[in-house]
Amino acid sequence: MRRKAFNLYSTHLKSRFGGRVHKVSIDAGFGCPNRAGGRDGDGCLFCAPGGSGSVGIARGKSIADQIEHAKALMRRKYRAKWFIAYFQPYSNTFAPVEILRDRYDQALVVEDIVGLAVGTRPDCLSAPIFDLLTEYDQRSYFWLELGLQSIHDRTLDHLQRGHDYQCFLDSYRQAKERGLRVCVHLILGLPGESREDILATADEMARLQVDGVKLHLLHVLEGTPLGDLYKQGQVPMLGMQEYVELAVDFIERLPPETLIQRLTGDGPRDILLAPLWSTDKWEVLNAIDAELERRGTVQGEKYRTAI
């Protein structure tokens, strides 16, 4: 049997903990500085009205109840043994330190939670918050997940991200100085980006030697500014094979040590406008595996030449 051609996060977790470990997503009630400092407003061009996040989040319940709800699902579906509490929707460092500590503690005390993953933006981090995150890194298995999407400032401006690439670099440097694991979120197929632009982002992630990456395809959702542009015919979309080939190009350029946490995603079906092929997540993942095998390539194949 051919070995896996990339460094899969789930395999790493199973090796580290000796059993199946799954993330459980939590909505802790935080807002976003790009949404009028809360949850109102358009935010980023692509962001759904309810923020990013798993469809299965039991919003409206306490943090502990959300976790217990998700644990039951994960145990039935995947026979998961342990869990990482993932603060996912909106910006989960966008609050005073004492509030962050309270919310994180509520998650960490739940039975069978072995770690935390905190999703946020590069412009929602400060020295006191980094100090707090370092505490949780010392107490648990901790990941900081940073939404970047692209290294190109013109793209970030078009997406209405509200920060530039230098902001990301500053936050990334501070995180690494404290020894934090960082997973970077990136979108393939953004408006106006060429294959060369996307590969430049891959090469930069290789240069930084990021601990983990999540690759997302561009979803166009109802109720977003991007959705309005799509309806006007202003948003060209990647076909599935185009996405698959770009994802493999990206994988080839990453260091072998970088953990691949995601290679595609399936947007909420009730508001997904495009691409509709993304609803079959396993078909996309199988196509990525097939493309890697067709090329006879693996993660890191072009890493040395890329940097």
Taking only the tens place, the pLDDT of each residue in 202-231 is: 999 999 999 999 999 999 999 899 999 999
| Bond preceding residue 275 cis, omega within 30 of 0 | yes
Q: Give the tens place of pLDDT for each residue, 91-148.
A: 999 999 999 999 999 999 999 999 999 999 999 999 999 999 999 999 999 999 999 9
Task: Give the rounded percent of residues in the chain with a pLDDT score beyond 90.
Answer: 86
**Is the confidence at residue 307, as pLDDT, over 70?**
no
Q: Judge: domain 9-300, CATH 3.20.20.70.
A: yes
- Tokens matching residue 72: 């039951």
User: 3-state SS string over 107-157?
Assistant: HHCCCCEEEEEEEECHHHCCHHHHHHHHHHHHHCEEEEEEEEECCCHHHHH
Is 2 a residue whose pLDDT tops 50? no
pTM: predicted TM-score of the whole model, two decimal places: 0.95
Domain ranges of the chain: 9-300
- Whether 53 has a pLDDT exceeding 90, the answer reads no
Q: How confident is the model at residue 3 (pLDDT cuts 50, 70, 90)?
A: low
Asked if residue 238 lies in contact with residue 275, where contact means CB atoms within 8 angstroms, the answer is yes
Assign 59 a pLDDT band (cuts: 50, 70, 90).
Answer: confident
pLDDT digit string, tens, across residues 292-303: 999 999 999 999
Return the higher-pLDDT residue of 3 and 71: 71
- Nearest one of 175, 212, 183, 215 to 199, comparing CA atoms: 215
The pLDDT confidence band at residue 48, using thresholds 50, 70 and 90, is: confident
pLDDT above 90 (res 200): yes
Considering the chain, what percentage of its residues have pLDDT values greater than 70?
A: 96
Confidence of residue 4 (pLDDT cuts 50, 70, 90): confident
Of residues 208 and 51, which shows the higher confidence score? 208
CA distance 40 to 28: 16
| Confidence at residue 55, expressed as pLDDT on a 0 to 100 scale | 61
Q: Which residues pair with 181 in a beta bridge?
A: 143
Pick the closest to residue 221 from 65, 46, 42, 59 (CA basis): 46
**1 pLDDT tier (thresholds 50, 70, 90):** very low
Mean pLDDT of 171-196: 97
Q: What is the mean pLDDT of residues 28-36?
A: 90
Instruction: Give the model's pLDDT for residue 56.
Output: 66
